[in-house]
Amino acid sequence: MTPLIETRALSRHFGGLKAVEAVDFTLQPGEIRAIIGPNGAGKTTFVSLICGRIAPSSGSIALDGNDITRLPAHKRVLAGIAYTFQITSIFPKLTVYDNVALSVQRRLLKAGRVVAGELDAGVAQALARVGLADRAQTLAGNLAYGHQRLLEVAMGLALEPRLLILDEPTQGLSDGEIEGFIALVREIAKEATVLLIEHNMPVVMQLAQKITVMNFGRVLAEGSAEEIRANAAVQEAYLGTGRDG
Ligand SMILES: Nc1ncnc2c1ncn2[C@@H]1O[C@H](COP(=O)(O)OP(=O)(O)OP(=O)(O)O)[C@@H](O)[C@H]1O
């Protein structure tokens, strides 16, 4: 099967710092993949390279076997790569509805048509999926932090992406919200591939079929939850930095 995403020797250096170094990575369509690793391991930098927020120092990225290394970020969105990042990127002075409407509009424009009814339906559907339907008229900036994260997921979903990248999506969510989030990702995964950076290990263990562990910009290990749990190098990496997640 042609991988959805394949990186070859992908690197990004900041001065002398090798934030991402020679990463070969393959993601198959339909997977839920988690990327874990200690703080500063290069996880955010790596997914930023995939979605085009930053340019690589060297190496290549392919989507469906086609080289996208030099494709600008907005064109990658149109090609089906949607993402949410640690720092919320909602429009705080717009309503929840309008935030999502911007994403739906982007998708409809790509399809060559913007019809009022479809806009409404797309927004309603995305908000219902993340459980924010009753907040549609709330100003996004007035939502609790956890709900702002869910709004971001709704904005990503409204694009109907093939790949949804989530950077620490459960940060700031309550236990109850995390449970709902796990169910949501399973739903999303029926239609899209999910790439998730996550520090909450129970969430990783419940969701990911395969886990990629990064450390010092490189892939340290890759495998099932059981394999990763039993991996001595992974245990060492976490103990070495004092992180538990
Ligand atoms: N724009 C930048 N300029 C300089 N250094 C950067 C930049 N972005 C990231 N770095 C550095 O690259 C390294 C990897 O950072 P990155 O944010 O990718 O790690 P991470 O694994 O996502 O960490 P965390 O779990 O804390 O989010 C860190 O040492 C970080 O300080």
Determine whether the shortest distance from the Cβ of 38 to ligand 1 is under 6 A: no
Q: Write down the mean pLDDT value for the chain.
A: 90
List domains and CATH numbers for the chain.
1-80+161-176+192-245 (3.40.50.300), 88-160 (no CATH)
214 touches 208 (CB < 8 A): no
Say whether pLDDT at 240 is over 70: no
Q: What is the pLDDT of residues 108-147, one digit of tens each?
A: 887 777 777 888 999 999 999 988 999 999 999 999 888 8
**pLDDT category, 242, cuts 50, 70, 90?**
very low
43 alpha carbon – ligand 1 mean position (Å):
8
**pLDDT category, 243, cuts 50, 70, 90?**
very low
117 alpha carbon – ligand 1 mean position (Å):
42
User: What integer pLDDT is reported at residue 12 of this predicted model?
Assistant: 98
190 alpha carbon – ligand 1 mean position (Å):
31
Least-confidence region, from 21-30, 71-80, 107-116: 107-116
Which residue puts its alpha carbon closest to atom 6 of ligand 1? 14
Say whether pLDDT at 244 is over 60: no
80 alpha carbon – ligand 1 mean position (Å):
25
Provide the edge-to-edge strand list for the sheet that holds 163-167. Answer: 81-84, 163-167, 193-197, 32-36, 210-215, 218-223
Ligand 1 pocket test: pick from 10, 12, 13, 17 the residue with the most ligand atoms within 8 Å of its Cβ. Answer: 17
What separation in angstroms does the CA of 203 have from each of 5, 85, 114? Answer: 23, 17, 37
Ligand 1 pocket test: pick from 13, 21, 43 the residue with the most ligand atoms within 8 Å of its Cβ. Answer: 43
Q: Closest Cα to residue 237, out of 223, 207, 208, 217?
A: 217
**pLDDT category, 200, cuts 50, 70, 90?**
very high
Say whether pLDDT at 46 is over 70: yes
User: What integer pLDDT is reported at residue 204 of this predicted model?
Assistant: 94
Q: Of residues 172 and 189, which shows the higher confidence score?
A: 189
Q: Of residues 78 and 93, which shows the higher confidence score?
A: 93
